[in-house]
Amino acid sequence: MSYFWVTVGSALGGLLRYAITRLTFSYSTGFPLGTVFINVLGSFVIGYFGTLTLHSGKHPVSENMRLFVMVGICGGFTTFSSFSLQTFDLARSGAWGRAMANVIFSVVLCVAAVALGHRLAQNVVHEVAIAETVEEEYTG
């Protein structure tokens, strides 16, 4: 079943990536903004969902659900291979400044998005724990 969930998630992630890429074509500036956006969003989702659904956390989900979202959807959605090709094409065409900007923006923003997703999920887990404690004290 794990392979099934990864396959379904990958198809969904790929479809979302294609739709967002098509939407960002009209805003093309010679810089792959759509790819950067997709990678940052995917990084945020994997950081947020991964932390929120840890097996030892307040909102654990099945291993198949984690595979569906984190390997399937995020894997099909994020575009590291596209990022690499676009960076290579920029460098090969002599646009070294854009190539380096793409590397820096993508790496820094994606790592920051994972950290932000992780932090927000920790806050959600913490707030739920506080609310449950207050409720137990009030009703207990």
Position 40 scores a pLDDT of 94
Question: pLDDT tens track of the chain, all 140 residues?
Answer: 999 999 999 999 999 999 998 888 767 677 888 888 999 999 999 999 999 999 887 799 999 999 999 999 999 999 887 889 889 999 999 999 999 999 999 999 999 999 999 999 988 877 777 777 777 777 76
Which helix H or strand E contains 89, and what residues bound it?
helix 80-92
Altogether, the residues listed in the chain come to a count of 140
CA distance 65 to 2: 9
CA dist 124 and 28 (Å) reads: 36
CA distances from 22 to 17, 19, 25, 80, 84 (A): 9, 5, 5, 17, 19
* Helices vs strands, H then E, count in the chain: 6, 0
Q: What is the pTM of this model?
A: 0.78
What per-residue confidence (pLDDT) applies to 26?
66
Domain regions of the chain by residue span: 2-139
Reduced to 3 states, what is the DSSP secondary structure of residue 27?
A: coil
Question: In the prediction, which pLDDT does 123 show?
Answer: 87
Predicted confidence at residue 64, as pLDDT, reads 97
* Residue located via tokens 């932000």: 116
